[in-house]
A and B are shown apart, each in its own frame.
Chain A
Amino acid sequence: MKFGVVTFPGSNGDYDSYTAAKFVLGKETVFLWHKSASLEGADVIILPGGFSYGDYLRSGAIARFSPIMKSVIAFAQSGGIVIGFCNGFQVLMESGLLPGALMRNSHLRFRHRFVYLKTENHNTPFTNMIPEGKTIKVPIAHGDGNFYNFQADVDELEKNSKVIFRYSDMNGKITNEANPNGSLNNIAGISNREGNVLGMMPHPERAVESILGSDDGLLVFDSMVNYLVNKPAKSA
């Protein structure tokens, strides 16, 4: 099992993701340069946090056209596991792999702190190891995390259980106070219709050892490993 971490110019979460997968999880992990078109046989593609291409134009808008993204989009469309954290989420949306937009935080401030997430769907490649009823404590660090989409499309996500993570209090209660950026319905992470692509604003890769303040983020990595180990031999 191999993890591939994409590095765009301006990525700053690529080493966090690499460290989580390679040293904490103990899996083979490679960096994938944005100018390359090869995914080097990776089974999981991570789009890391940061400020790809300086966030010029809109967050994620330029990264979407990089050579590596052509391959990532094809990989995702053939059922490959792709996860985007923070800026990676923004790239996934700009690429059209996930529906919606991430706007400037409603209060205009950059927010960096721990949040609690309620998992709304445990039956995904990214959440199957998160115990029912457990909120996970992971950090956020963003200025453009305000999830927005047309009401009909949000309803569609909700109806199909594609809202995977929601900002909550530590007991899993969804409140306005727990919403750090103004996101509709407290949405922190969503998946595509097929369920193989997940984007989330928080950073589970920065909460993988207790010395970091929380190791709850490791559950997201464990889930992907568990999914890949147990999935039927014939992949999509």
Chain B
Amino acid sequence: MKVLVVDDSLAIQESLGHLLAAIPGVTVAGYAEDVAGALTGIRDLEPDLVVLDVELRGADRGMDVLLHVVKEHPAVKVIVMSNFTWAAMRSGLLAAGALAYFDKGSEFLLARDWVASFARAHAHAHAHGPAP
């Protein structure tokens, strides 16, 4: 299962990439730090899952990426990992189509578990479904 990490922090990209890559069946296909990079990555890398930050490089908004994916690539799943802890932010993004919202600083282990679970389900679906 291919994962695209979209975050403007290079430190996060690396640490989160390392964390996710450690999950069996997960491949970190690439990284993006702004909307344009994210859209290119989604188009070129065809990830199964996008791990998205709310704020991106150059005042870009993660919401725009989410909305694009929902509209243009409905097969691609999106979860949000953010340092914003406000309920409003959380509910706003979930409503817009994100599958999950994790606090980057305190819920990254939950996020890892969620991704692991998603990866298992993905593998199962691909093992029993039609060949890719």
- Tell me whether A and B are bound partners: no
B-binding residues in A (CB < 8 A): none
A-binding residues in B (CB < 8 A): none
